[in-house]
Amino acid sequence: MKPQSFPSPALLLIGLLMFALPLPLPADALSRPPATWQDRLQAVPETDVSGTERIAREAITGTRDRLAELLQSGTDDNKNLAEGYGELAALYQLFNIDSAAALCWENARTLQPADFRWTYYAGYLALNGGETEKALELFQQARKLNPDYRPLDLRMGQLWLDTDQLDKAHAALQKAANESGLRAAALYYLGQIDLLRHDYQGAQAHLSEALRINPQASEVHYPLAQAYRQLGKQELAREHLARFKQQTPDADDPLVAELETVLQTSHWDFRLGMQAIMEQRDYDAAIEHFKKGLEIDPDNLAARVSYARALYLGGQADAAEEQLQRVLTRDPQQVLANFFLAVLWESRDKPEEAAARYQRILKLEPEHEGAHFYLANLLYHQRRFREAASQYRAALTASSEIPPARLLELVALHRAGDADRDIARQLEQRVRAYPDQSELKYALIRLRALSGDAEVRDSFKALTLANELAPNQPTPPNIEALALAAACDGQYQQAARLQQQVIGMVKWMLPAEKLQALETTLAAYEKDSMPQQPVWPADDPLLSPLPLNPVEPFRDYPAAVPF
Amino acid sequence: MNKQNTPDRLTRGEAAIRKAFRRSLLVIALLLVASALIYQFIRQPEPPPAVTEARIEAPSAVTETATAQPPTVHFTDISEDAGIHFNHVNGAYGERLMPETIGSGAAFLDYDNDGDQDLFLVNFRHWPDHPGDNTPTQALYRNDGSGHFEDVSRESGLDIEEYGMGVAVGDYDADGWVDLFLSSLKKNRLFRNQQGQFREVTDQAGVGGRQDLWSTGAAFIDYDRDGDLDLFVTNYVNWTRKSDLEIDFRLAGLGRAYGAPNHFTGTDNYLYRNDGNGRFSDVSRTAGIQVHDPVSGLPVGKGLGIIALDYDRDGWLDLAVANDTARNFLFRNQGDGSFEELGGFEGVAYDRKGKATGGMGIDAAHYRNDRDIGIVIGNFANEMSSLFVTVDGKPPFADEAVTEGLGPASRLALTFGVLFLDYDLDGHLDLLQANGHLEHEINRVQASQHYAQPAQLFWNCGENCPAHFVAVKDPGDLSRPMVGRAAAYADIDNDGDLDILISQNGRRAMLFRNDQRLGHHWLRIKLVGKAPNHNAIGARVELTAGGMTQTRDVMPTRSFLSQMELPLTFGLGEHDRIDTLRINWPDGSSQSLTTVNIDTTTTIIQPGAEP
């Protein structure tokens, strides 16, 4: 008898090929529930969570994995599964992935229909998403499950209000108002009902009381201002309008509180931090917010840069530098961190280090207008005028919206020795292109009045421009420029009168030597002669870069990604 | 059976082969079963079903308290039949740059002075590094008087390639031919109408603005009451491609998405005073129309829609601007060439909770036929449209969207163009909203949202209902899902009722004919004012019939980045005569008429004006 044989090579090959082919990965059991659950549970497809912060991505992925494992384990533990779906729903809801959240709540409800939480949360999601009919249906079901959950009255009140069922809204909100933890919020919405009904006294009473209970609820100021306005109390209206900010009254809703804290995220704190910097200029608050957010997400380098900004603005320059260095240790190419470090070093009188850092930024990002502009200013102060001019030019090429650079480039070229006629030609073009930028006109008036080049010196043009500038913007420099133009035109008496006007405007605030210079010029006019002064004095603040004020870039320089 | 084939006659070899074969069959079967099981376990889930652009049912008002129902009126899409073969190009190629989502506007105008309403459609263009396979241009269509249009873009000189956003129409040079201003992502452009041919005069006029400023809404108005038309332009956000890509806006659940306006800083508005001789002066800085945050110093405005109105009845045109995610502006004209911004104080800045909404389109009207004026603003998804209404005929305004039937029904939709118009000619101004989202795949993360959304038509029930506006369930082709942006109206076929144009972003423009057959009487009025404001922009007409007074303003700038026809349409319902017609001309003079034929278009010439 022939011995039993193994399968033939052909069959083996087929089998091997079947295993060797790139077969698809196992499906997520939530996207395709196991057969035992298919008829009962909704599929929850995977979604792109790249838009969320890292901690959120990890939480969502981790929760999905655990839930998938549970589903695949064949368990019939509805409670556990419901909790899993509930946790996942909360995460999705927290990060505004509403479709997925709704499916998860639905599954939790299917698994545990008697659990009030799932129906309430599903209703809350629908309410916030504007699905009022669905929200109403769910809240009514929730009411049957737990008639005593008082925050539900508040939510129903909001819902009835949003759907123009004011009597029902009123009744529900009155009930909620009897709960101390809900009173402020309920009164806020009752006040809105009053406004809709044109009951302005009622609105004033309800809203004032809401504020008394919850003074931080600055959002209440807006409808209260409207009430006062309608009552003819304009000043009170203005007062409340000035105090209005977006902060809703507190509502003691334990379930919603639990939902909002299912995951401690950093972005909320980072957002508050940015708001504190940009809108409130409250740098201490900003520092606290960023600190808190970074405890949760210490690897968020963009947030750490914003934290450094807040520290600097809050007077903690050393701490700011430390944070910036920390960022650069992790990522030496972080442009914004490099930029602020350069500014900080420059402010600490380390010009060479600062310049080198600006140059490094420009290697990383050749069109970084901030680096070009600040480097230009630094070079200018070092009297490296031609290099400064080149950097101003580069800044303008990167962005046309750096007005000081339009003039400073030409001033730097002038100081570097370029001919007046070349400067005049370019300055004329810029005056035409930017008629609202008065410093360009000021500079051109002085050039036309004082240039040593006869082809450039032109009293008519100087006077025409000065007559356009000074009456519209009668500042001391502009009046002085008009005086120069008048003198250039031979109108010395007029020039003297204007110069006296300037002296009268500024003498109380000028140091003695500057006042002396003005009086010397006046004396020249009184002798019917032109004053001996440079076209563009080196100490003229309108014709040179201002000394670095590091607060400005730390506060105002835009960050595309602040966290 | 052949005994020779019975098993006991097989050779051993054959038996072995058979046995081996049976075993191999078993192995194959087992392998197949195993493979099937493995495949079942590890196969990719089926891809989610393709998103179908299902029709959204506008939620019915939860309170069905209306005691009257809208009449049956259908609007029919006649775009193809009418010769409108315009496809808007938004330039999208995959990187999701914000300007791709906003455009574009539309204008009804009588560019050739033949008495009917022609149509101008604004177009965007491809980005320079992604040229596309066509060259999209702006489009001008000439109406033959019966509602059929011919593309005259080239012969009129308006076949211009531009990053077009909105349009304003006005005879700024008072030569009797309406001119056209095109707002753009880049430099804006002014075209002078020379008897049907348009020639660009931007630089000469001085209204190009900045190359890097994103302009949107624009309006020709006589703000200083010197008789000629000045120009107001609103700008959107401080956008660059670089910053858009750097921000890398992402929607959780979708990935890379279109950036939201709150990621960008705001911009200033422009006001250009008409100096005559074809030139304008930029008076923006001194006119009080530039609003800055007191703390940061940055501009606040992110303007889209504009409406000019005299909300305080002092005879000077004021301006309301719908800002997107910033507070709305109400610029009160102080009568001395300057404005004061009072949006917060007058109650139009925020919704009733004090939140700055995503305001897009805007319109204003006396929709209750009383002294109260309503300003409607179309807002973002999950935000009710705003309906700010004065109380007892005077400011401040209160947001009455909820109690007027508009709020709940408008909440889910993402609304751009909004318009008051009396579509059924019953004497009450109804309301139209053009809707459409920004994100193609929004439905994947928000089940209640869709990219294409039907327009919404609300019938004004008048005093018969507790809430004035009742959603029209079946307005015909208007209920088709659209990526709606501009909404504009005109009587294109001279049958007395108003037809509608809705532009779509990245899709074809849609022209809807009003097919109402209700037998209501009507009157259309064309005003001819004194030079230089021949078209009487800013005039107000009050028509009283059957004890009810309707008010209309000659103000073509309404809705979203668009212009309406100049003639005014009054529906008279069953009334077959007019009691009085009063015209308040822009120069402050007024005129009353009692004998006016109805069911016709009447031209009324201001005393002293040249016909």
- H helices then E strands: how many in chain B? 7, 41
| A230 contacts B396? CB cut-off 8 A | yes
DSSP character at residue B442? G
Per-residue confidence in pLDDT tens, chain A, 563 aa:
333 344 455 555 544 444 444 444 455 889 999 888 989 999 999 988 877 888 888 999 999 999 999 999 988 899 999 999 999 999 999 888 999 999 999 999 999 999 999 999 999 999 999 999 999 999 999 999 999 999 999 999 999 999 999 999 999 999 999 999 999 999 999 999 999 999 999 999 999 999 999 999 999 999 999 999 999 999 999 999 999 988 899 999 999 999 988 887 888 899 899 989 988 889 999 999 999 999 999 999 999 999 999 999 999 999 999 999 999 999 999 999 999 999 999 999 999 999 999 999 999 999 999 999 999 999 999 999 999 999 999 999 998 789 999 999 999 999 999 999 999 999 999 999 888 899 999 999 999 999 999 999 999 999 999 999 999 899 999 999 999 999 999 999 999 999 999 999 999 998 999 999 999 999 999 999 999 999 999 999 999 999 999 999 999 898 988 99
CB contacts of A4 in chain B (<8 Å) are 23
CB contacts of A11 in chain B (<8 Å) are 24, 27-28, 31
CB contacts of B391 in chain A (<8 Å) are 198, 230
| B352 contacts A164? CB cut-off 8 A | no
Q: Which residue of A has its CA nearest to B282?
A: A436
- pLDDT tops 70 at residue B54: no
Q: Which residue of B has its CA nearest to A101?
A: B445
**Residue range B550-554: average pLDDT?**
98
| A50 contacts B408? CB cut-off 8 A | no
Mean pLDDT of chain B: 90
B168 has which bridge partners?
A: B181
Q: Which residue of A has its CA nearest to B400?
A: A196
Asked if B603 and B207 touch (Cβ cutoff 8 Å), the reply is: no
Asked if B280 and B205 touch (Cβ cutoff 8 Å), the reply is: yes
Q: Which residue of B has its CA nearest to A26?
A: B42
- Higher-confidence residue of A395 and B42: namely A395
| A246 contacts B355? CB cut-off 8 A | yes
Given this model, what pLDDT does residue B35 score? 53
Question: Chain B: nearest CA to A417, how far in angstroms?
Answer: 32
| A28 contacts B252? CB cut-off 8 A | no
Type of residue found at B451:
Y
Q: Which residue of B has its CA nearest to A168?
A: B63
Tokens of B266: 């705001």
Asked if B124 and B100 touch (Cβ cutoff 8 Å), the reply is: yes
Q: Which residue of B has its CA nearest to A129?
A: B382
Residues whose CB falls within 8 Å of the CB of residue B134, separated by 6 or more in sequence, listed in order:
B89
DSSP character at residue B299? B
| B408 contacts A164? CB cut-off 8 A | yes
| B59 contacts A132? CB cut-off 8 A | yes
Whether A76 has its CB under 8 Å from any CB of chain B: the answer is no
Among A164, A165, A400, pick the best mutation site for testing chain B contact (most B Cβ within 10 A).
Answer: A164
Q: Give tens-digit pLDDT for B140-166.
A: 999 999 999 999 999 999 999 999 999
- pLDDT tops 70 at residue B38: no
Among B24, B62, B265, B271, pick the best mutation site for testing chain A contact (most A Cβ within 10 A).
Answer: B62
Given this model, what pLDDT does residue B331 score? 98
| A8 contacts B24? CB cut-off 8 A | yes
Question: Chain A: nearest CA to B259, how far in angstroms?
Answer: 12
| B293 contacts A223? CB cut-off 8 A | no
Tokens of A345: 């070093």
Residue carrying the six token digits 């939620």: B59
| B27 contacts A99? CB cut-off 8 A | no
Q: Quickly count: other Cβ atoms within 10 Å of residue B238's Cβ.
A: 19
Asked if A111 and A85 touch (Cβ cutoff 8 Å), the reply is: yes
| A130 contacts B382? CB cut-off 8 A | yes
Given this model, what pLDDT does residue B353 score? 85
CB contacts of A192 in chain B (<8 Å) are 352-353
> How far is the C-alpha of B362 from the C-alpha of B418, rounded, in Å?
6
- pLDDT tops 90 at residue B221: yes
> How far is the C-alpha of A505 from the C-alpha of A540, rounded, in Å?
17
Q: For residue A51, how far is the Cα from the chain centroid?
A: 17
| B252 contacts A52? CB cut-off 8 A | yes
CB contacts of A34 in chain B (<8 Å) are none
Given this model, what pLDDT does residue B31 score? 53
- Give this prediction's pTM: 0.87
**β B600-605/B521-528 pair status:** parallel
* A-to-B residue pairs, Cβ atoms closer than 8 angstroms: 191
B358 has which bridge partners?
A: B324
Nearest CA-CA partner of A166 in B352, B328, B382: B352
Closest Cβ opposite residue B354 in set A11, A165, A244 = A244
Asked if B325 and B261 touch (Cβ cutoff 8 Å), the reply is: yes
Residue environment code for B401-435, b if the CB has 16+ CB neighbours within 10 A, otherwise e: bbbbbbbbbbbbbbbbbbbbbbbbbbbbbbbbbbb
| B59 contacts A196? CB cut-off 8 A | no
Given this model, what pLDDT does residue B12 score? 44
| A248 contacts B353? CB cut-off 8 A | yes
Residue ranges of A 97-116 with Cβ closer than 8 A to chain B: 97-100, 102
Q: Which residue of A has its CA nearest to B16?
A: A2
**Strand ranges, E, within B236-378:** 250-251, 255-256, 270-276, 279-282, 303-309, 318-323, 329-333, 339-341, 362-365, 374-377
| A162 contacts B408? CB cut-off 8 A | yes
Q: Give tens-digit pLDDT for B324-353.
A: 999 999 999 999 999 999 999 999 999 988
| B408 contacts A163? CB cut-off 8 A | yes
CB contacts of A161 in chain B (<8 Å) are 402
CB contacts of A26 in chain B (<8 Å) are 41-42
CB contacts of B257 in chain A (<8 Å) are 51
Nearest CA-CA partner of B108 in B487, B554, B490, B484: B490
Whether A50 has its CB under 8 Å from any CB of chain B: the answer is yes
Given this model, what pLDDT does residue A304 score? 97
**Residue range B255-275: average pLDDT?**
94
CB contacts of B66 in chain A (<8 Å) are none
Helices A151-162 and A116-128, interaxial angle, to 10°? 30
DSSP character at residue B412? S
Please count the residues of chain A: 563
> How far is the C-alpha of B405 from the C-alpha of B376, rounded, in Å?
13
B255 — pLDDT class (breaks 50, 70, 90): confident
Given this model, what pLDDT does residue A1 score? 34
Among A4, A21, A48, pick the best mutation site for testing chain B contact (most B Cβ within 10 A).
Answer: A48
Q: Give tens-digit pLDDT for B55-101.
A: 343 333 333 444 589 999 999 999 999 999 999 999 999 999 999 99
Whether A232 has its CB under 8 Å from any CB of chain B: the answer is no
Among B11, B30, B44, B292, pick the best mutation site for testing chain A contact (most A Cβ within 10 A).
Answer: B44
Q: Which residue of B has its CA nearest to A8?
A: B24
**Strand ranges, E, within B342-393:** 362-365, 374-377, 386-391
CB contacts of A280 in chain B (<8 Å) are 295
| B295 contacts A51? CB cut-off 8 A | no
Among B35, B353, B411, B414, pick the best mutation site for testing chain A contact (most A Cβ within 10 A).
Answer: B353
Closest Cβ opposite residue A11 in set B28, B61, B248 = B28
Given this model, what pLDDT does residue A25 score? 44
Asked if B200 and B189 touch (Cβ cutoff 8 Å), the reply is: yes
Q: How would DSSP label each residue in B207-244?
A: ----TT--EEEEEEE-TT-SSS-EEEEEE-B---HHHH
- pLDDT tops 80 at residue B481: yes
B179 phi, psi to nearest 5 deg = -100, 175
| A161 contacts B402? CB cut-off 8 A | yes
Residues whose CB falls within 8 Å of the CB of residue A423, separated by 6 or more in sequence, listed in order:
A410, A413, A414, A447
Given this model, what pLDDT does residue A47 score? 87
